[in-house]
């Protein structure tokens, strides 16, 4: 396998990580997270292990009406069966009972390991850089027809 193929697979691992969260299909995270992952989100306490991390993500996003992650893999440096990745992160979250949308900007400083032939995130560190809550005070969403249409398999 070439480093270009590895880079594409590493990018895909990160994008699948985010789309699994956005689609509320947290059980699919086992496909991209190493069983022994170590993770830290901002200044929160570290989390060790894929099952604990999956549970933490499920609980942290339980009230989300919808989420939208935008990632860009800036660097993927491969060394054999290990790699590092610098991933820029912007996400939006809409929580039930809240009229606003939360915006979070940061960078992932991740390590990946080939586990049973598949790239998996083994160390995940989200450096939080900015956060804010926005409200559509101008009514723009309504002026473009509101949210929709519903898409099968995604949270409504």
Domains of the chain are 3-143 (3.10.450.50)
pLDDT of residue 68 exceeding 60: yes
Share of the chain above pLDDT 70, in %: 98
Q: What is the per-residue pLDDT across 108-130, written as a single tens digit (0 to 9) for each? A: 999 999 999 999 999 999 999 99
H, E, C per residue of the chain: CCHHHHHHHHHHHHHHHHHHHHCCCHHHHHHCEEEEEEEEECCCCCEECHHHHHHHHHHHCCCEEEEEEEEEEEEEEEECCEEEEEEEEEEEEEECCCCCEEEEEEEEEEEEEEECCEEEEEEEEEEEEEEEEECCCCCHHHHCCCCCCCCCCCCC
pLDDT of residue 2 exceeding 70: no
Please, what is the average pLDDT of the chain? 95
- Model confidence band, residue 3 (pLDDT cutoffs 50, 70, 90): confident
């Amino acid at each position: 396998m070439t480093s270009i193929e590895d880079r594409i697979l590493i990018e895909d691992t990160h994008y699948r990580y985010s789309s699994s969260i956005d689609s509320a299909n947290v059980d699919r995270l086992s496909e991209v997270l190493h069983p022994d992952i170590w993770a830290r989100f901002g200044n929160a306490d570290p989390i060790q292990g894929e099952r604990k991390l999956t549970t933490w993500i499920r609980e942290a996003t339980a009230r989300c009406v919808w989420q939208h992650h935008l990632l860009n893999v800036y660097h993927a440096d491969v060394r054999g069966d290990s790699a590092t990745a610098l991933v820029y992160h912007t996400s939006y979250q809409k929580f039930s009972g809240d009229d606003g949308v939360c915006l979070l900007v940061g960078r992932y400083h991740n390590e990946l390991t080939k586990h049973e032939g598949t790239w998996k995130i083994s160390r995940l560190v989200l450096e939080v850089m900015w956060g804010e809550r926005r409200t559509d005070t101008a009514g723009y969403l309504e002026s473009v027809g509101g949210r929709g249409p519903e898409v099968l398999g995604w949270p409504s």
